[in-house]
Amino acid sequence: MKLSVRFINALLRTFFRVCFSIDRKELAKIPEQGPFLMMVNHTSNLEAPMLYVFLQPRKMFAMAKKELWEHSFMGWLMDAWKSIPVDRENMGRETMEACFAVLDQKNILAIAPEGTRSEDGCLQQGKAGVAFIAHKKDVPMIPIAITGFESFSKNIKRLRRTPITIRVGKSFEIIQKGGRIDRQALSDEIMLRLAELMPKEKRGFYTDYPLTFSLTRAIDDVNA
C-alpha cells in the first residue's frame, strides 16, 4: 500500500508540474510543526491533492465529500490519504471526532469553509460547521487562497499550462476562548481572512464586506 501511494503521489506531482505553472514559494510560510487548521477556498477537486503532494513530509488530512468514496479509485485514494468523509448537509459526530483526532495528533487539518465548489472561482458564504471545529479545538488557523484552477479545462484543450497562484496568509486565532459564539459570524470572519488574500473580483459573497476583524486576531500581532 505504501509503495502504491508513493507512486500515485509521484504521478500527481508530475501531473501538476506538466499541466500547471505553480509558484510554490508561499508554501514555505506554512509551519513545519504543530497542529493547525488550513482554511482553503474551493474551486476544484485539485486543490487538496496539490497541497497534499507538495506539503510532504508534513502530514495533511483533509475533509472530503462522502460521495468521493462511491468511486473505487477515488475511494481507495481517499482512504490512502486518510481523508475524512463528510456529509455536507449534516456534519455528524463521527466526522467531528475524526477532525479533533487529527488536531490532537498535531497534524494539519485542511478544510474548505465554503463546503461546496465555486463554479466561477469567486468566494461563497462559509458554512457554520467550520466555526464549531475552530472554536472547539482552539488551534491556529492559516488561510490559503488558490486561484487559477477554474481556467484548467479551457487551457488543457489548447494544450496550455494553467498558471496557479497560491497566497498564504498570517496565522490567526479566535479571540474568545470558550463560552458561546456566533458560529456564522465567526465563519464569515474566517472567510474574510481568505478574501483578504484574493483579488477583489474574486471575493464573491464577501466583495462588499469590510476587511475588519473583531472575532479573530493575527497571532504575529499578539506575539509582537
Q: How confident is the model at residue 17 (pLDDT cuts 50, 70, 90)?
A: very high
In this model, does residue 73 exceed pLDDT 90? no
Q: Which of 204, 7, 40, 11 is nearest to 115 (CA)?
A: 40
Q: How confident is the model at residue 74 (pLDDT cuts 50, 70, 90)?
A: confident
- Over residues 83-112, mean pLDDT: 88
pLDDT in tens, 21-57: 999 999 999 988 889 999 999 998 899 999 999 998 8
Q: How confident is the model at residue 116 (pLDDT cuts 50, 70, 90)?
A: confident
How far apart, in whole angstroms, are the C-alpha atoms of residue 112 and residue 143? Answer: 10
- pLDDT given for residue 211 in this prediction: 92
Peptide bond before 31: cis, by omega within 30 degrees of 0? no
How far apart, in whole angstroms, are the C-alpha atoms of residue 176 and residue 181? Answer: 8
How far apart, in whole angstroms, are the C-alpha atoms of residue 162 and residue 184? Answer: 34
pLDDT in tens, 117-171: 898 889 999 998 888 888 988 899 999 999 999 899 999 999 999 999 999 999 9
Query: 3-state SS string over 79-140?
Result: HHCCCEEECCCCCCHHHHHHHHHHHHCCCEEEECCCCCCCCCCCCCCCCHHHHHHHHHHCCC
Domain boundaries, the chain: 2-19+33-223
